Amino acid sequence: MVIYGVALLSGCLLAGAFLGDLLGELIGVEANVGGVGIAMLLLILLSDRLRARGRLNPTSQRGIVFWSSIYIPVVVAMAARQNVLSALEGGPAALAAGTLAVAVGFLLVPVISRIGRPRDADPPDPDPGADQ
Amino acid sequence: MTEILDLLQAVLVRHGLVTAFAFVGLVVWISYLVSDRLTRGRVHGSAIAILIGLVLAGVGGVVTQGDRGLADIPVFAGVGLLGGAMIRDLAIVATAFGVDLGEIRKAGAGATVALVIGVLGSFAVGAIVAWLFGYRDPISMTTIGAGAATYIVGPVTGTAIGATSDVVALSIAAGLVKSMLVMTATPFVAHRIGLDDPRSAMVYGGLMGTTSGVAGGLAATDERLVPHGAMTATFYTGLGCLLGPSVVFVTIRALFG
């Protein structure tokens, strides 16, 4: 049933949000500490386990896939509801932050590519049975 | 005639969320058309759609003098619900579905190092820029830093730590600039940065992180590298959402709070 997938996804988000609030409470910051990230981890682990046991059939998975495939439109809606006008004066900051992040990234590609390079150049084939 | 328009408006307002689905669908459709016809696919439709979203938020602000962008216009109130934190987080968490954590181990040390440095480095760069431009409270620095990671990590982090909407808008804009720049500039620098094999593509995906940017940039460079870069980039947003409103925020708060 599609709702099983949606329910699993919702449960993960709720658990993540709760743990994030709890973590914030514990370390004394007024924030949801990593809740969405925790929810993502939970979803990865739980769905992986459930699928391995055959408890999450393709129909149920559709309930999660739908939400994942609609995230760009949701982000568009999110962008459309922000207070852009009062952000305008900060425009150059956004431009600079985005541009510099890309520049630093480009510069680091050759540096980090060297890590692990001495081992064999081609990664070995994925072990059989590890993936479906 | 005005009666018919009133009737139509009443229907749209009454079905706020449904109106938002239809409207955003239209925006996305136009964006992909623009991407195809005007940029020959070089700037991905998703980036154009988000850009149009920001512009529409500005239009909403001018029309209503409100602070919730397009959502302050009654007909588009549903956009506020669709793009609100609740549904947004549901959709973003869903993108983690199908990600195989084992993949990252197979990708090797380089990819993992690239991911961690990519996420933390973007935060650092963004936060420093924010500070230089006068956004000196830890919440704004962290949120704009998160935006320099991706346009998802920005608002997710901003919401989690209580940033104002204008700072969240800046973080989306920063992420959007990054995504568009990665899409368009990659083919021009690929040779110079040694982006020519699966291993360097994985490192590049981990450093850049913006999935649409990485996929677009690699497609324009060498189609065969796309899956390698996309593989590491998949982990980036999740890692950013995990580290941003936790380790990064706490660190920035300790340093600048």
Q: In chain A, which residues have their Cβ closer than 8 Å to the Cβ of B170? A: 87, 90-91, 93-94
Q: What angle do CA B123, B176, B81 make, to 5 degrees?
A: 100
* pLDDT, tens digit only, all 257 positions of chain B: 789 999 999 999 999 999 999 999 999 999 999 999 999 888 999 999 999 999 999 999 999 999 999 999 999 999 999 999 999 999 999 999 978 888 878 888 889 999 999 999 999 999 999 999 999 999 999 999 999 999 999 999 999 999 999 999 999 999 999 999 999 999 999 999 999 999 999 999 999 999 999 999 999 999 999 999 999 998 999 999 999 999 999 999 999 98
Q: Answer yes or no: do A109 and B195 touch at CB < 8 A.
A: yes
- Can you give the pLDDT at residue B85? 94
Q: Answer yes or no: do A86 and B176 touch at CB < 8 A.
A: no
Q: Answer yes or no: do A36 and B68 touch at CB < 8 A.
A: no
Q: Are B98 and A8 in contact (CB under 8 A)?
A: no
| Partner B contacted by A130 (CB < 8 A) | yes
The token duo for B214 is 């990485």
Interface test with B, best of A108, A109, A117 (most B CBs within 10 A): A109
C-alpha to C-alpha distance for A64 and B96, rounded to whole angstroms: 10
pTM: predicted TM-score of the whole model, two decimal places: 0.90
> Which residue of A43, A83, A101 is in closest CB contact with B165?
A83
- Can you give the pLDDT at residue A119? 52
Q: What number of H helices and E strands is found in chain B?
A: 14, 0
C-alpha to C-alpha distance for B181 and B179, rounded to whole angstroms: 6
C-alpha distance from B7 to closest chain A C-alpha (Å): 25
| Partner A contacted by B123 (CB < 8 A) | no
The closest of A74, A71, A14, A12 to A44, measured between CA atoms, is A12
Q: Answer yes or no: do A117 and B162 touch at CB < 8 A.
A: no
Tens-digit pLDDT profile for residues B39-85: 988 899 999 999 999 999 999 999 999 999 999 999 999 999 999 99
Q: Answer yes or no: do A64 and B97 touch at CB < 8 A.
A: yes
> Which residue of B96, B113, B172 is in closest CB contact with A40?
B96
Residues 66 through 85 of chain B touching chain A, CB cutoff 8 Å: 67-71, 76, 79-80, 82-84
Q: Are B138 and B224 in contact (CB under 8 A)?
A: no
Q: In chain A, which residues have their Cβ closer than 8 Å to the Cβ of B200? A: 109-110, 113
Q: In chain B, which residues have their Cβ closer than 8 Å to the Cβ of A39? A: 89, 93, 96
b or e along A34-56 (b: 16 or more beta carbons within 10 Å of the residue's beta carbon)? bbbbbbbbbbbebbbebbeeeeb
C-alpha to C-alpha distance for A114 and A89, rounded to whole angstroms: 41
Q: Answer yes or no: do A73 and B130 touch at CB < 8 A.
A: no
